Amino acid sequence: MKFSSVSIPLFLAGSAAAASGTAASTGGSSTSASAASASSTDLPSLVSQLPRCALPCLESAAQSVNCQASDFTCLCAAQSKLLAALGPCIITSSCKPAEINTAKDVAPQICNAIKGAQPSQVSAAASVVTSAMGSKSTNAAAPARTAFPVAAAVTTLAMSTQMEVLAKQIADSVESLKRDNKSPEEEAQHRAVIAKSAHALAHLTKTPIEHLMDRFVIYTEDAALALFIQWKAFDVIPEEGTISYQELASKLDADVSLISMELLSSPHDTVEGILIPMFSFPSYFEKHGRKEPASRRHTPKAFADGQDGLTVWEIVNQDPAKKARMMAAMALFESSVPVVAGYSFDWVVAAAAESPRRALVVDVGGGRGHSLVAICERTPGLDIRRCVLEDLEPVLDAVREAADGPIRDAQLVALDFHREQPIKGACAYYMSRCLHDYGDDECVGMLARLADAMAADSRVLIKEQLLDDPPAPQSAASDINMLAIGGKERNLAGFESITSRAGLKIKEVVREGTFAILECVKA
C-alpha cells in the first residue's frame, strides 16, 4: 500500500469534519475533544493542539510547498499539496494512532481558521510553532524512513478510515441522485463520484494477486476482441436477441468450444508469455484453422515465437533466466490457489496403517511441492516421507537446491506425465492445475497412464478451476490464456468427457470458489 493513498483521505476526512463543525479528537493534548470543539477553535489554540511528534513532518511538508513552517498563510494557500505531503510523513513517524487522529482533525481546521484570523492571532500561532520547534523533545525526532509498511495498528486505522470516507462519499452521492430537480451536469457529477469512490474502495480491499488478475482479464478480453474482429464475428451476432454458440460457430466455420472460449471472456513474462501469443491468435488460426490446438507442439505460443513444433517447456528451457522467472511465477500463483479445504485426506491415513510400504499421496507435476506440503500439514497422521513429488528433472533439481521445510522429507521422482507412471498402486494420485495446460486428447493420455498405475482402491484427485455457465471473468480469462499454450479450462461436462475416455469415473466433486477437487475412481 502506498502511504500517500492512505493519508490523503485521512486528512480530507478531517477537512470535511472541520467544515461541518464535528468535534476533533485530541490524541496529543490533554484537552478533551468536547473542550476543543467548544472553546479552542481560535488559531493559536488549534496550532497548540498539533502533536509534537508531527512537528518535524510539518517542517518537511512546509519545505515541499516553499513555505516556512510557522507561516500558516503561505501553508494554507497550498492546502491540498500541504496535506498530501503531511499525511504520509505523519503515518510513518513516531506518532501513535491517537496522535495521528489529532493531526488529521486539527490540520484542516487550522486552514479554516486562518481565513478569518486577526493578524495578532496569525503572529501568535507562528510563535507557538517556533517555540515548540525550538524545544522539541526526543519523541519529535525526524520520522524513520522505511520501505516496509508501518505497524499493523496504524495501517488498520488508516485503511478503516479511508474505507469509511469512501463509503460515505458513495452513500451521499446515491442520496443526491434520489433527489428531484437535478440538472444533467449534477447527475453526471454524482455518478462520477460513485464510480470513482467505488473503484477506489475495491482497489483498497484487493490483494496484489487480485490486482494482477484484474489486469489479466483485460489482456484476454483485448485478445478475444481482436480475434473476433478479424473473423468478422460481430457481423453475424445480432444486435437484438441471441445466437447460440453452435450457430455462431457454424457461421464462422470454427469449433464450438473455441467460440465459447472467446466469448466468455500470471503470468510468466507478461509481454512475451501472454500478450504476444494471444495477439498472434488471428495469424495462428488463419494457418491452422479455427480449431483448438491439436497438440502441445503446435500452439499459439510456439507459433508466436517462430518455433512451431516445440513444446512450451522446450522453448522455455532455451533461456535459463526466463525459465527461472516462469517457475517463480507458477509457484506464486500456486501458493495463492486454495488446496480445497473441504476435501478430506483422512481416508489416506487410514489406508496407510493397512499397507506400511504403500505410497500415500503422489503429487503429479507438483512443481515445488506447495500443495503436497499443505495437504500433509492439515492432515494429522499423513507422513510426508511416504509421499512423492513428481515433476520434470529440471524442476526437481530446483527443488533440491532450494529445499526447505517438510518438502525435504518427501520422495522426489522425475516424471514426464506423457509417459508411464513410475509409482504403482499409490493411495492417491493428486494432479493440481496440470490438465488445463493441455488439450483434450493429451489429457486423456495423461489420465490413462494414471489409471494404468492405480490399484483397485486408488483414487485420482484432479484440482482445477471448474467453469460455471457463465464462468467468472477471471476463469474465462484463464481459459483464453491457456489457449495460448494449447490448453483450456473446463466445465464439469468437459472433465466427465476426458476422464471417461481415460477409463475413470468422477465419484465426487468438492468445490471451493471457482476451484474444485474431482475425485475419480476406476470405471
H or E element that contains 229 = helix 208-231
| CA atoms of 483 and 436, how far apart (whole Å) | 9
Cell 502533536 belongs to residue:
51
The amino acid occupying position 57 is C
| CA atoms of 290 and 295, how far apart (whole Å) | 14
Per the annotation, does 71 bind a ligand? yes
Give the distance, in angstroms, between the CA of residue 217 and the centroid of all CA atoms in the same chain: 12
| CA atoms of 150 and 13, how far apart (whole Å) | 21
Cell 430537480 belongs to residue:
181
Nearest to 428 by CA among 462, 383, 468: 462
Give, as one character, the DSSP assignment of residue 74: H
**Please, what's the b/e burial string for 436-470 (b: 16 or more CB within 10 A of its CB; e: otherwise)?**
bbbbbebbbbbbbbbbebbeeebbbbbbbbbbeee
3-state DSSP call for residue 363? strand
| CA atoms of 259 and 248, how far apart (whole Å) | 8
Phi-psi map region of 247: left, alpha, beta (phi>0 left; psi -120 to 50 alpha):
alpha
Give the distance, in angstroms, between the CA of residue 63 and the centroid of all CA atoms in the same chain: 37
| CA atoms of 335 and 366, how far apart (whole Å) | 12
Nearest to 424 by CA among 481, 359, 483: 359
Binding residues for heme: 71
Binding residues: 71
